[in-house]
Amino acid sequence: MSDDDGSELSVTAFFEYCRTQARLLSGRAETMRSDVDDLLEEIDDDLETIRGRLTDHANDREGPTAGPAGTDLDVTELEELESTVETKQALVEAKQARLAAFQELAADYADLAAELHSEIDDGHEAMERVIRFELEHDAPVYFDDRQTVAEAAAESNDQRDE
């Protein structure tokens, strides 16, 4: 079983490819998780700043030195901080959704690898299964710096059509 260009197609190669894709996606998910954690820390810091300013202002109003000498509350600054927090929260939600998608695709690639390993004996069938999987899961979108099997197959078909 060899391809038109004489290269051998093996189930093992596609099995390893799927495992590699799963590991790459898991690595990207870890990086995204770290980014989300950093953003959540920033949100916590911003909220602590807001709470601190409100507490300071309330204490100045209630203490024995309350009055004009107390700390003025800069409402505009607090509104800007609140807006920043809301923007960061929306970004966290978007990153968490993207993170979940990467984790899901990584798990699906791992499942496909196991399926290829246990159920497929023919390299061509393995390739077809991988191509179908990648097209169904829109996998090329997840790999900016790497060509997927589906993209390579499409490119090969385009070259044959020319």
Q: What is the mean pLDDT of residues 32-57?
A: 92
74 vs 63 pLDDT, higher one: 74
Distance CA 21, CA 110 (A): 8
pTM of the model: 0.78
- Give SS3 for 68: coil
Q: What pLDDT digit, counting tens, does each position of 95-125 carry? A: 999 999 999 999 999 999 999 999 999 999 9
Helix, strand, coil percentages (3-state) for the chain, rounded to 5, are 80, 0, 20
- Give SS3 for 2: strand
Confidence at residue 13, expressed as pLDDT on a 0 to 100 scale: 96
* Burial class of residue 147 (count of CB atoms within 10 Å of its CB; 0-12, 13-18, 19+): exposed
136 vs 72 pLDDT, higher one: 136
Confidence at residue 66, expressed as pLDDT on a 0 to 100 scale: 46
Check whether 70 has a pLDDT greater than 70.
no
The answer to whether the CB of 89 falls within 8 A of the CB of 43 is: yes
Q: What is the mean pLDDT of residues 50-54?
A: 86
* Burial class of residue 102 (count of CB atoms within 10 Å of its CB; 0-12, 13-18, 19+): buried
Q: What is the mean pLDDT of residues 57-86?
A: 72
